[in-house]
Amino acid sequence: MSDDSARDAERQQLLEQYAEIAALAGGLAHEIKNPLSTILLSLELLEEDIRESEASGSHRMLRKVETVQRECRHLQSILEEFLQFARVGELDLQESDLNEVVAGFIEFYRAEAAGNQVEISPHFQNDLPTVRLDRSLFRQVLMNLALNAQQAMPEGGLLELQTYSSESEVMLDLIDNGTGMDADKVEKIFQVFFSTKPGGSGLGLPTARKIIQAHGGKISVATEQGRGTRFTICLPSSS
Ligand SMILES: Nc1ncnc2c1ncn2[C@@H]1O[C@H](COP(=O)(O)OP(=O)(O)OP(=O)(O)O)[C@@H](O)[C@H]1O
Ligand SMILES: [Mg+2]
């Protein structure tokens, strides 16, 4: 066997192993979800019982139950994000005007942004070429990026959303003036489970990248510690 075909066979074997592990992890997440829902439901009933009881020490018991509830909900949200990450496969592509999709997202996100003192500033290029988008998955990308920006500006700040195009591509920049990142951190942000936030699952950016790549696009980042961060999404244009 030549070196090349030996390497191909090895790669194929690795890919198969990877697919098997991915399927196993997805299955495991599903299997954990159902009993977890039952546990949460039982905890809710237990919480009600304790609230109604006059027994001494019920206050302490209640606090313990609440802690377990909080941890279970955290597990539940990690599982949901994980399943979302694993699920990105088939796309429902529609010819779309990126300006319209981003404007729709801003409409949806505006109240949450205002509640966190985040000002949104859109700059849309006129006559943008169209792109083929799975709009619901793309909205999820925008949400993940906007929430990250918001969390990087705990005292509030400015989030700019800017569209523009080149000969064959359509771009969207999301620019925040938040904490920014140092070189060490930015290297890791697309790794699954990398998070610097208490309670963060570290799946937001890997999911965003997976969705953009499934569209034949790219996502890149430029950042400066203490000044802010710019994410650029680049999609092939279809017109
Ligand atoms: N706009 C940003 N400014 C500064 N740091 C950021 C920004 N976006 C992402 N990061 C860093 O990248 C890490 C990974 O982001 P990612 O969205 O994947 O996970 P997360 O936000 O920690 O958790 P979650 O799964 O809830 O989104 C964050 O924890 C944060 O440290
Ligand atoms: Mg995030």
For 117-153, how does the pLDDT look when each residue is reduced to its tens digit (9 = 90+)?
A: 999 999 999 999 999 999 999 999 999 999 999 999 9
Do 143 and 82 fall within a single domain?
no
List pLDDT tens digits, range 184-234. 999 999 998 899 998 888 999 999 999 999 999 999 999 999 999 999 999
**Under a CB-based contact definition with an 8 Å cutoff, are residues 146 and 158 in contact?**
no
User: Ligand 1: does its nearest atom lie under 6 Å from the Cβ of 122?
Assistant: no
CA of 202 to the centre of ligand 1 (A): 7
Do 192 and 213 fall within a single domain?
yes
User: Ligand 1: does its nearest atom lie under 6 Å from the Cβ of 202?
Assistant: yes
> Among residues 70, 87, 104, which one ends one of the domains?
87
Q: How many domains does the chain have?
A: 2
pLDDT interval class at 1 (50, 70, 90):
low
Do 72 and 116 fall within a single domain?
no
| Residues forming beta bridges with residue 234, ordered by sequence position | 171, 218
Cα separation, 176 vs 159, in Å, equals 5
Amino acid at 158: L
pTM of the model: 0.82
CA of 200 to the centre of ligand 2 (A): 7
Do 14 and 75 fall within a single domain?
yes
Q: Residue 42 is part of a domain; what is its CATH number? A: 1.10.287
> Among residues 87, 115, 137, which one ends one of the domains?
87
CA of 167 to the centre of ligand 1 (A): 31
Do 78 and 177 fall within a single domain?
no
Do 78 and 195 fall within a single domain?
no
Do 112 and 217 fall within a single domain?
yes
> Among residues 56, 87, 118, which one ends one of the domains?
87
Cα separation, 220 vs 53, in Å, equals 56
- Residue 157: which domain range? 94-236
